[in-house]
Amino acid sequence: MKFGHHQSFYLRVNWLSKAIKMTQEDPRFFFEEFAFERVGLGKNMVKSLRYWVVATTVMEEGKNEQRQSIHRLTPFGQLLSRHDRFARLPLTAAALHTVLASNKVSAPAWYWYFNEFNQRAASNEGMLAALANWASLHHSRPVSIHTLKRDLDCLKLMYTARARNNDDPEDIVTSPLTGLDLLLESKEQFIKRTPERLQLELDALYFALLRYCELNQVDSVTLEEILVKPLLWGKLFHLSTHHILEAMEMLQANSDYPVNLVRTNQLNVLNIETEDPYAFLEKAYERKAGY
């Protein structure tokens, strides 16, 4: 598992666009000595961006025909490149969050906080102690407290940093995930927040559901499972039972989502006609563009 590889920089607005542009021009961009000059970022920021493009599964590292290391777009990255390279749509923010918070290997602190840490609110010190305990149980080597603290500081900023009225437009520090409103801004605590329904659209929830079904080889989930299981709505988006049931009913009422909600003996089961999550995401982007 990779702790602290972000160089203390959270993912910024426009960074993914820069990375997509530069790697399309030169797949070895991230391995060039003067890449930072070409992209207009500091050296450590470029190292951070290299980490984030893989952690969000927008890119993967591989080899070219000369056996040189390169970066190439994943199917998810190709979708972003075609439909929302600047990550302006709420759907893109939610999809990025879904894949990042599901990535136990590359973003373990994010996976832990959104899937396994069950407290709604905790002090900075309590969070650090809890993450250190989890890391000691799940990581093969000791991880320094300093590194874990950097992860938590970065995580908090990624979901709460907002542009101020007097910010220089050339120095945008907002994260594309801030608009999800999954964390309350607090210096002393981590406080989970349930986003407003309009901020979290059905396409995003259905994408997360399809990814879960694919990873677990299932085609149905209960309301209780959606509430408490890792990688589903209750964990990833802090949704309550009421919000989850409401979303299940909305999916059933919309022909864009081939599901069937069955209620028997107070058990709510959502049967899903599964498909590739990224094929669905492509259709969702096309609907938004009015194709």
Domain-located, residue 281: yes
Domain-located, residue 271: yes
Domain-located, residue 6: no
User: What distance in Å separates the CA atoms of residue 80 and residue 278, rounded to the nearest whole number?
Assistant: 11
Asked whether residue 204 falls in the same domain as residue 185, the answer is no
* Domain-terminating residue out of 151, 169, 192: 192
User: What distance in Å separates the CA atoms of residue 113 and residue 133, rounded to the nearest whole number?
Assistant: 13
Asked whether residue 251 falls in the same domain as residue 144, the answer is no
Asked whether residue 168 falls in the same domain as residue 265, the answer is no
Residue where the block lists tokens 């990624």: 158
> Higher model confidence: residue 169 or residue 85?
85
Query: Which has the minimum average pLDDT: 112-116, 143-147, 197-201, 284-288?
Result: 197-201
Asked whether residue 256 falls in the same domain as residue 269, the answer is yes
Q: In the predicted model, what is the mean pLDDT of the chain?
A: 92
Domain-located, residue 114: yes
Compute the average pLDDT of residues 175-197.
Answer: 91
Domain-located, residue 7: no
Asked whether residue 180 falls in the same domain as residue 216, the answer is no
| Gap between the terminal Cα atoms of the chain | 41
pTM of the model: 0.93
- Structure-token pair, residue 57: 């599964």
Angle at 186 between CA 185 and CA 189, to 5 degrees: 130
Residues of the domain holding 245? 197-289
Side-chain-side CA neighbours of residue 184 (13 Å): 12
Per residue in 45-95, pLDDT tens?
999 999 999 999 999 999 888 888 999 999 999 999 999 999 999 999 999
Give the CATH number, domain containing residue 273: 1.10.10.570
Burial class (CB in 10 A: 0-12, 13-18, 19+), 97: buried
Asked whether residue 178 falls in the same domain as residue 203, the answer is no
Q: How many domains does the chain have?
A: 2
Query: Which has the minimum average pLDDT: 13-17, 106-110, 159-163?
Result: 159-163
* Domain-terminating residue out of 192, 224, 239: 192
Phi/psi of residue 277, nearest 5 degrees: -60, -35
Domain-located, residue 9: no
Domain-located, residue 112: yes
- At 169 the pLDDT is 45
* Domain-terminating residue out of 137, 168, 192: 192
SS3 61: strand
User: What distance in Å separates the CA atoms of residue 253 and residue 246, rounded to the nearest whole number?
Assistant: 11
Residue where the block lists tokens 């990688």: 231
Provide the pLDDT confidence category of residue 28 given band limits of 50, 70 and 90.
very high
Contact 154, 160 (CB under 8 A): no
- At 277 the pLDDT is 97
Cα 46 to its chain centre, rounded Å, is: 20
Asked whether residue 207 falls in the same domain as residue 179, the answer is no
Asked whether residue 120 falls in the same domain as residue 156, the answer is yes
Asked whether residue 108 falls in the same domain as residue 92, the answer is yes
Domain-located, residue 10: no
Asked whether residue 132 falls in the same domain as residue 228, the answer is no
Asked whether residue 41 falls in the same domain as residue 161, the answer is yes
Asked whether residue 207 falls in the same domain as residue 280, the answer is yes
